[in-house]
Structure 1
Amino acid sequence: MKKSRILIGAAVLTIAGFFAIAADHIDAPAVAGGASDITDIYAFQGANTNNIVFVANVQGLLSPGSTASAAFDENVLIEFNIDNDGDAVEDLVIQATPRDGKMYFFGPFAPTQTGLNSTIFSSDGFNTVDITPYGDAAIVENNNGMSFFAGPRDDPFFMDFARYGEIIAGNETMFSDPGTDSFAGTNVLSVVVELPKSMVGSGDSVNIWVESKRKQ
């Protein structure tokens, strides 16, 4: 069994209407700009309304020129944590880890321990998808009602940093409409899993957060 220690986690999201987002671009000093730096997490209802989609983006602000050489770190585990009873402790996890050009997905399963350390239980079964090269059409694998993707995508998060700075400085009171997208033209590396809602819990809402953990 291999254990890993947390590097950074994004905010906890409560998902009732099945759309939520949290973002944190290069704000964590310990991992800023590194392969484990989480930029965004998203959760939303799938095109199939019985499904929910989880997205974790890492390595933000990649220029088009640097995206082709960007790669998932094989020593970093990306873990989706799911709390389905409202106690802010993960009841289920979905793990994603790259190896030799593929992303391996494990879960959802109930972890044997919660918190900073994680163990991958490969004996519980796994799914894989080829990591999509930059500029290629998305490679998606489907199995047992779940769908998987990993690869570079245009950064979908919209943020007007210049206007934000003016608001913080007290020179403005609100964002302009539509504003300027400071992330336009930059990319991220995305990990996406779509699965039936029934696999994450039977309640009206779930909490989700994402952590990147480095193998020790």
Structure 2
Amino acid sequence: MKKTNLFIIGGLLSIGIVLMAADHLDATAVAGGTADITDVYAFEGANPDNTVFVANVQGLLTPGATAQFDENVLVEFNIDNTGDLVEDLVIQAIPRDGIMYFFGPYAPGTTGLNSTIDDKTQYLGQVEISTGANATTATANGISYFAGLREDAFFFDFAQFNAVIGGTSTAPGGGFNNPGVDAFDNTNVLSIVVEVSNTLLGGTFDHPAGTGVQVFNTWVEAKRKQ
């Protein structure tokens, strides 16, 4: 096992299987940096037996601007199968020389703030990092991969949100306009996408709200090499 010491510098929690969360420039310690996580998505794939995980970093990039993944930052998808908010499986992604390398899903040797990369894990993959409009994908062991520059898919009317919060909205009922104005339109992010068979993701547990739905917890961390 190759051991690399890393620690958390940003992260988001998303409970369930079909959810998303966003945090553009909100994490003050990393805002605008190469480890700033903007969005986390987890949803059913086109094949309903698969789950797609997406982590976006480095938000508000101007189209045409040069942007690169940081080779000292590991992006780690965490999966909790028991509901104790401790990762049971991880999928790790780290770039080297224009290639994004993937490890897992596998049970981590350490949990929490520190991570190691097991380069002998059964599930290994890599994909050339896409830099233009054309997306390069790769598949290994039935797992599909993508990494590269994409248009930010998150929609948020930031100015109107501030007006609603500040009580100055002129929209009907003091709420949002329909349609709103997307503050993230014409901006890019760096995306890491992994599509995995559900058979590789471990078990599930009863939704804590008692809905009868089976779920797992998933969240993403960015960890910088020390």
**What TM bracket, shorter-length normalisation?**
over 0.9
1:160 aligns with 2:157: yes
Letter in 2 for 1:201: G
1:208 aligns with 2:218: yes
Letter in 1 for 2:217: N
Q: Which residue number corresponds to residue 127 of structure 1?
A: 125
Letter in 2 for 1:208: T
1:4 aligns with 2:2: no
1:184 aligns with 2:185: yes
Q: Which residue number corresponds to residue 93 of structure 2?
A: 96
Q: Distance in 2 between the 1:151 and 1:99 partners?
A: 13
Q: Which residue number corresponds to residue 55 of structure 1?
A: 54
1:26 aligns with 2:25: yes
Q: Distance in 2 between the 1:177 and 1:9 partners?
A: 31
Q: Deviations over 1:155-197 (max 9, x none)?
A: 0000001100101101233222220001000000000000011
Letter in 2 for 1:14: I
Q: Which has the larger radius of gyration?
A: 2
Q: Distance in 1 between the 2:47 and 2:203 partners?
A: 17
Q: Distance in 1 between the 2:127 and 2:200 partners?
A: 20
Letter in 2 for 1:106: F
How much identity, in percent, do the aligned residues show? 56
Pairwise CA RMSD of aligned residues?
A: 1.0
Letter in 2 for 1:96: A
Letter in 2 for 1:36: A
Asked if structure 1 preserves the Cα contact closer than 8 Å seen for 2:22 and 2:39, the reply is yes
Asked if structure 1 preserves the Cα contact closer than 8 Å seen for 2:52 and 2:194, the reply is yes
Give the match's secondary structure for 2:33. Answer: coil
Give the match's secondary structure for 1:39. Answer: strand
TM-score (norm 1): 0.95
The structural deviation recorded for 1:109 is 0.7
TM-score (norm 2): 0.90
Asked if structure 1 preserves the Cα contact closer than 8 Å seen for 2:77 and 2:220, the reply is yes
Letter in 2 for 1:214: R
Q: Which residue number corresponds to residue 194 of structure 1?
A: 195
Residue 82 of structure 1 is aligned with which of 65, 79, 95? 79
Q: Deviations over 1:126-176 (max 9, x none)?
A: 2100001123x1111011111000000000000001100101101233222
Q: Which residue number corresponds to residue 64 of structure 2?
A: 65
The runs of 5 or more residues in structure 1 that have no matched partner are none
Residue 139 of structure 2 is aligned with which of 116, 137, 142? 142
Letter in 2 for 1:195: V
Q: Deviations over 1:51-74 (max 9, x none)?
A: 0000000000001132xx100000
Q: Deviations over 1:70-97 (max 9, x none)?
A: 0000000000010011111101000000
Q: Distance in 1 between the 2:41 and 2:140 partners?
A: 22
Letter in 2 for 1:50: D
